[in-house]
Amino acid sequence: MKPLEGVRILDLSRVLACPFATMLLAEMGAEVIKVEQPGAGDETRSFEPFFDFGVSGYYLACNRAKRSITVDMRKEGGRQVIRDLAARADVLVENFPTGALKRRGLDYASLKSVNPRLVYLSCTGFGQTGPYAKRKGYDTVFQAMGGLMGLTGERGGGPVKPGLPVADLTSGLWVAIGLLAALRGRDATGQGAHVDFSMLDGQVALLTIAAARLFALGEVPPRLGTEHPGRVPTASFRCRDGRFLHITASDQHWAPLCNALDLRDLLADPALATNAGRLAQRDRVMAAMTAAMEAMTRAEAVTALDAVDVPNGPVLALDEVVADPHVQARGCIAMVPHGEATHPALRLPFRFDGFDDPVPAPAPVLGADTDGVLTELGYDTARIAALREESAI
């Protein structure tokens, strides 16, 4: 048994943040019914890259383990299908623009009347309230407005976005957390809830230690590349062979680090024994570290630092990550069937003792489950045919 078995989720979302969230919950056992537009489906079905069997890798990465039905919510027949599904669901997730589903009679207030236990989550860029509520946005907009981009980049350089759509992916994690919390509350009270999640709010909530520096000292942390604003030495260094090694050292690692890299002058200076002292002389410490690392290959540096338990890690390219022996040993990647083909996919990072572990399951073919889901709702073949004639499914 998986931990979320018995939870039914009606997923009206598309693209990345919420589909990622519902996939996480699906692979932990929830039944997720993904509602897609007839004929086209989730926009990501057309996004590159494509596997050689013709399916979008983008779509497969965020929609495994779901059932797909096609419903046109612009038609009354389609809207009634959604009402009937919501009446039997534990959770509804949507990421339509603010107010769009209210105009169709599918907002929380409308569906609460058919299912008082429904947990209904609305994910929008800026939330249901506030001066930006009607604005549109994408991942990089929220990175920019939420402070992440302003904190990221090399010294003296301009803002840089991370290599992943961090605002989308972390929003997916926030959505999953919010849904699980609301379900726990529903189980305690018997009443559902509306969860208003803003992607901008999600990015602001991640500022944590950067915001703490502002609140405590009135300072905006500068862009420092891979360096840490409050800990020295922490950074990625180029080695003699051109490869990079990232090192994170605290006070207890300082002497072993200096011994491993033969930094005797730094070790002999009592002013550098504490992080506060090293922060005050950041440039001196980093210059000495840079010179020492440039004289060693990455393998030599890893061997020397591992021998004295100084935290370090090679900066790996993506293909090196998936081939890493520890990643392989932990089973982070699995082969997943899709029709007659198979494709690699990333596993969820949970291993349960007492429940079945999440294992990637196939993503659905567009609309493959429409008739089955409607039959489970009690629709007969004539009613299903009438909906199809109306182009509502």
Q: Which residues are catalytic?
A: 168
211-232 burial string, b = 16+ CB within 10 Å, else e? Answer: eebeeeeeeebebbeebebeeb
Helix ranges, the chain (H): 17-27, 57-62, 76-87, 108-112, 139-145, 148-151, 166-189, 199-205, 208-217, 251-261, 264-267, 275-280, 282-294, 298-307, 318-323, 325-329, 370-376, 381-389
For strand 31-36 and strand 67-70, is the pairing parallel, antiparallel, or unpaired?
Answer: parallel
Nearest to 379 by CA among 136, 90, 80: 80
Nearest to 203 by CA among 165, 229, 231: 165
Q: How much of the chain is in helix, strand and coil states, percent to nearest 5?
A: 40, 15, 40
- Positive or negative: CA dihedral 271, 233, 154, 302: positive
Kindly write down the DSSP assignment for every residue of 260-306, as one continuous string. Answer: HHT-HHHHT-GGGSSHHHHHHTHHHHHHHHHHHHHTS-HHHHHHHHH
User: In whole angstroms, what is the distance from residue 280 CA to residue 13 CA?
Assistant: 49
Nearest to 241 by CA among 288, 295, 287: 295
